[in-house]
Amino acid sequence: MHQLLNTKDYSTIELILFAGGCYLWVLAYAVYIINIHRKRCIDMAIFAAAGNIGWEFVWSWCPPTTDMGDLLVWAYRIWFIFDLYIFWGILKYGVKQITTPALRPLFKPLCIAAAVLQASLYYAFKIQGFDTTIGATSAYLLQDFISILCVILLLRKPPGVYFSYPVAWLRSVGTATNTIFMFLHYPTNYFLEILAALSLVADGIYIAIFYVRRRENRNWNLENLTAPDPLETTPPLSQAILAAG
């Protein structure tokens, strides 16, 4: 396909909604990168990031790509290119999200293995014909996973994580416009519509919790960013027993 937008199979409003949502996610990724560079932190759930890069590899570079035109093909590819830096940020700064001490030494290989495994699953899902021509079903299976993990991450509030208000709105509005597209273009795909609606609800819950926490304490995010890592400050169990004795 060598056309900018596929106006034969998709209406103008559908293309505006979907392309707009995709490029809002591009902006969200740009903010993630800025925060990684400036604050040396990442507010994306670590295993959600592994799914992201796996899906984007499959739908950016493994033919067939989306049939919506080159503008959307390159939206997917920009996601992947940006996500290379974001995934590096996860490997470098995401270990504080792991609260089980025994898993921390395995953090990086687990993240890489999760990314490879999810890419394999999405590729198999694609080539066996279970997905739509734009990858919507697998994308929303992943998106629900991401949205729920982001809510859990916000509630857990692990140390060293800076939750970005612009990212929260950009990805939520981007997902919302894509969700409207799903209902317009796939009116009888009820499975996809339920997946899309669930992600919209989860993102709304995330925004609501974010707003309440900021209203209660406008410094909570900065305090969280500089909070010490309890697994690095807590002495080993043997030392604690000796100290107690």
Peptide bond just before 64 cis, omega within 30 deg: yes
- Residue 74 pLDDT greater than 90, yes or no: yes
Average pLDDT of the chain? 90
Residue 33: inside a domain, yes or no?
Answer: yes
| Residues 6+ away with beta carbon under 8 Å from 179 | 196, 197, 199, 200
Three-state DSSP state, 42? coil
Interacting residues of 143 by C-beta distance below 8 A, sequence separation 6+: 175, 195, 199
Which range of residues forms the domain containing residue 95?
12-244
Element (H, E) at 50: helix 46-61
- Compute the average pLDDT of residues 112-128: 97
- Asked whether residue 129 is domain-assigned, the answer is yes
pLDDT of residue 220: 83
Q: Note the pLDDT of residue 234.
A: 52
Domains in the chain, number: 1
Predicted confidence (pLDDT) at residue 244 exceeds the cutoff of 60: no
pLDDT band at 124 (very low <50, low <70, confident <90, very high): very high
Statement: the pTM of the whole predicted model exceeds 0.75: yes
User: Does residue 50 sit within a domain?
Assistant: yes
162, part of any domain: yes
Q: Is the pLDDT of residue 90 over 50?
A: yes
- Which pLDDT score is estimated for 2? 61
Asked whether residue 6 is assigned to any structural domain, the reply reads no
Question: Is residue 79 in a domain?
Answer: yes
For residue 100, name the pLDDT band (cuts at 50, 70, 90).
confident
Instruction: Quote the percentage of the chain above a pLDDT of 70.
Output: 94
Nearest to 78 by CA among 33, 17, 129, 143: 33
Cβ(165)–Cβ(218) below 8 Å: no
